[in-house]
């Protein structure tokens, strides 16, 4: 009889990275990590307790003064080794994110693995030329580290969000305790191993895995944490801000979005709509800055809906480990039901399904899959036009004139990102300047990791990336002579 290959047993991790080494977690509970495409448990990590957080913060506090006093050139050496470690393990990073997030290989390679490497490299260049002091009249103003940083990161871009917080914090001279999302902790553990290999002093970087309501809450409210940097939902962001505010801590919040992509008359409609569909379907729609609202003039509306439906049909859900797959599953069963629920709500409120729908994709009984969906006849007051869905769902909305388009674009609680398309860049830029949002792509402008990323209104406080991202972790001190 032919011997069947044995199924690989899930790896059970029982340790946290604290004080420069791996030590047993102080709690007995664990968190299973699922592959969203197969629904199989692929690993487990410790569900860290308040005691684990206490130990990590104590290690960070103990290392803070010495690390903050190191010359920038010395910090640069460690960060360069960290960058090189990220470069050397690109394939392992990609495979890890594909497995625990369900992100397609074709997207995970350049974005989930490649973008964090680019961001790390950008901070090496910024740090090498950054002035930590300046003369203003009879004052010398020094930019000093904010202290101990609590970095609480999401699952949708698990390594990018870690790098976007941890690397500039370390560059600024801060020490860090990282609490990654419970759905995607494996790439965070891989990052900790890379940090360990870069030779940072003990306590400069610490990792505690755990659930948000326990480890995250303990970290946000810890008296020895000076700054909380959080990326996630606006609802949780409010809780983080309230907890941190009670302790007079600084907060940096990168929260939700409901971004509008506005196509003005005279723009290349086909290109604008096709780019928009790709923007929403990337990462299965699990992007806070995704253009989930497509605004087109009423005279071009049906043409735009037809283009969008045709484009969405090219995103066939499938195995994320296959190089041909363009759309993978969402992260977990709860998220799948949430997204399908929004589609059903839209239909009840009068929207028309132009592509996709709430039904399970054909041939995919296993896995947390959602059909790539285009909703037509959406009005600005519908639930799907106001609330963040976080799935592969595009709402197409008609406007009467430019002022009506601006009213719709600005008519949500969010203000994170957006796009504007017009016959020329000046016309598009003039409209973009009136949008209440943190960043706007003009006629398909590319993402720039050196530009500040963050939002207005309910989309957050503070900025990540580039020089602005470094300055989030610095505080000025003035000496008068």
Segment 129-139, tens digit of pLDDT: 999 999 999 99
| Separation of alpha carbons 259 and 441, rounded Å | 11
Contact between 393 and 382 under an 8 Å Cβ cutoff? The reply is no
- pLDDT tens digits along 315-350: 999 999 999 999 999 999 999 999 999 999 999 999
End-to-end Cα distance, the chain: 88
pLDDT for position 314: 96
Structure tokens at 477: 């001190």
pLDDT for position 457: 96
Structure tokens at 338: 């949430």
| Separation of alpha carbons 385 and 396, rounded Å | 9
| Separation of alpha carbons 380 and 262, rounded Å | 13
pLDDT for position 220: 96
Contact between 210 and 204 under an 8 Å Cβ cutoff? The reply is no
| Separation of alpha carbons 179 and 48, rounded Å | 9
Contacts of 214 (CB under 8 A, 6+ apart): 47, 48, 49, 50
Question: Which candidate, 311, 262, 283, places its Cα nearest to that of 444?
Answer: 262
| Separation of alpha carbons 457 and 463, rounded Å | 13
| Separation of alpha carbons 441 and 409, rounded Å | 14
DSSP reduced 3-state for 206: strand
pLDDT for position 9: 83
pLDDT for position 267: 98
pLDDT in tens, the chain (481 residues): 334 444 578 999 999 999 999 999 999 999 999 999 999 999 999 999 999 999 999 999 999 999 999 999 999 999 999 999 999 999 999 999 999 999 999 999 999 999 999 999 999 999 999 999 999 999 999 999 999 999 999 999 999 999 999 999 999 999 999 999 999 999 999 999 999 999 999 999 999 999 999 999 999 999 999 999 999 999 999 999 999 999 999 999 999 999 999 999 999 999 999 999 999 999 999 999 999 999 999 999 999 999 999 999 999 999 999 999 999 999 999 999 999 999 999 999 999 999 999 999 999 999 999 999 999 999 999 999 999 999 999 999 999 999 999 999 999 999 999 999 999 999 999 999 999 999 999 999 999 999 999 999 999 999 999 999 999 999 999 999 9
- Beta strands 293-297 and 352-355: pairing type? unpaired
Taking the mean position of all CA atoms in its chain, how far away is CA 36? 18
Rg (CA), the chain: 23
What residues act catalytically? 254, 288
Structure tokens at 291: 């253009």
| Separation of alpha carbons 274 and 306, rounded Å | 11
Residue located via tokens 């050397």: 88
| Separation of alpha carbons 239 and 345, rounded Å | 27
Percent of the chain with pLDDT over 90: 98
Q: What residues does each domain of the chain span?
A: 11-255+460-480, 260-449
Structure tokens at 249: 């801590």
Instruction: Please tell me what DSSP assigns to residue 258.
Output: -
pLDDT for position 1: 36
| Separation of alpha carbons 300 and 264, rounded Å | 10
| Separation of alpha carbons 45 and 33, rounded Å | 8
Torsion of CA 287, 292, 295, 299, to 10 degrees: 130
Contact between 228 and 249 under an 8 Å Cβ cutoff? The reply is yes
Helix pair angle (425-432, 402-409), 10° resolution = 50
Contact between 247 and 223 under an 8 Å Cβ cutoff? The reply is yes
Specify the CATH class of 260-449 in words.
Answer: alpha beta
pLDDT for position 141: 98
Where is 294: in which H helix or E strand? strand 293-297
Query: Which pTM does this prediction carry?
Result: 0.96
| Separation of alpha carbons 213 and 217, rounded Å | 5
Contact between 375 and 352 under an 8 Å Cβ cutoff? The reply is yes
Greatest pairwise CA separation for the chain in angstroms? 88
pLDDT for position 272: 98
| Separation of alpha carbons 249 and 121, rounded Å | 29
Q: What is the CATH number of domain 11-255+460-480?
A: 3.40.605.10
């Amino acid at each position: 009889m032919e011997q069947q290959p044995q199924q690989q047993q899930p790896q059970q991790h029982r340790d946290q990275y604290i004080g420069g080494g791996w030590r047993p977690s102080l709690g007995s509970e664990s968190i299973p990590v699922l592959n969203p495409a197969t629904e199989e448990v692929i690993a487990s990590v410790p569900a860290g307790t308040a005691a684990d957080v206490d130990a990590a913060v104590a290690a960070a506090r103990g290392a803070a003064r010495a690390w903050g006093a190191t010359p920038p050139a010395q910090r640069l050496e460690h960060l360069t080794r960290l960058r090189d470690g990220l470069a050397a393990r690109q394939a392992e990073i990609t495979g890890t994110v594909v497995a625990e997030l369900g992100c397609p290989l074709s997207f995970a390679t350049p974005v989930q693995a490649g973008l964090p490497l680019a961001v790390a490299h950008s901070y090496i260049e910024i740090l090498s030329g950054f002035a930590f002091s300046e003369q203003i009249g009879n004052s010398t103003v020094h930019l000093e580290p904010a202290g101990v940083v609590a970095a609480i990161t999401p699952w949708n871009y698990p390594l990018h969000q870690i790098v976007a917080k941890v690397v500039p914090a370390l560059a600024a001279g801060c020490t860090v305790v990282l609490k990654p999302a419970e759905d995607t902790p494996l790439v965070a553990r891989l990052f900790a191993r890379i940090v360990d290999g870069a030779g940072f002093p003990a306590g400069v970087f610490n990792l505690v895995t755990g659930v948000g309501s326990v480890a995250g809450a303990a970290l946000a409210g810890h008296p020895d944490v000076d700054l909380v940097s959080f990326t996630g939902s606006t609802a949780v962001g409010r809780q983080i801000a309230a907890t941190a505010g009670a302790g007079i801590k600084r907060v940096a919040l990168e929260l939700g979005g409901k971004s509008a992509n506005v196509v003005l008359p005279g723009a290349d409609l086909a290109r604008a709509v096709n780019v928009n569909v790709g923007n929403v379907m990337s990462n299965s729609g699990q992007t806070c800055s995704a253009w989930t609202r497509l605004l087109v003039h009423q005279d071009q509306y049906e043409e735009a809906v037809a283009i969008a439906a045709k484009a969405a049909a090219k995103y066939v859900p499938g195995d994320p480990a296959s190089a041909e797959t363009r759309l993978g599953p969402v992260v977990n069963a709860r998220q799948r039901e949430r997204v399908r629920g929004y589609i059903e709500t839209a239909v009840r409120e009068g929207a028309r399904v132009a592509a996709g729908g709430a039904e399970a994709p054909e041939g995919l009984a296993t896995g947390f899959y959602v059909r790539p969906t285009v909703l037509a006849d959406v009005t600005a007051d519908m639930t799907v036009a106001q609330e963040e869905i976080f799935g592969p769902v595009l709402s197409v909305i008609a406007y009467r004139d430019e002022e009506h388009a601006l009213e719709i674009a600005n008519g949500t609680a969010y203000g994170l990102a957006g796009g504007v398309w017009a016959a020329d860049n000046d016309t598009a830029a003039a409209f973009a300047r009136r949008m209440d949002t943190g960043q706007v792509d003009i006629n398909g402008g590319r993402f720039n990791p050196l530009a500040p990323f963050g939002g207005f209104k309910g989309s957050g406080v503070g900025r990540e990336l580039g020089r602005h991202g470094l300055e989030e972790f610095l505080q000025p001190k003035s000496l008068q002579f």
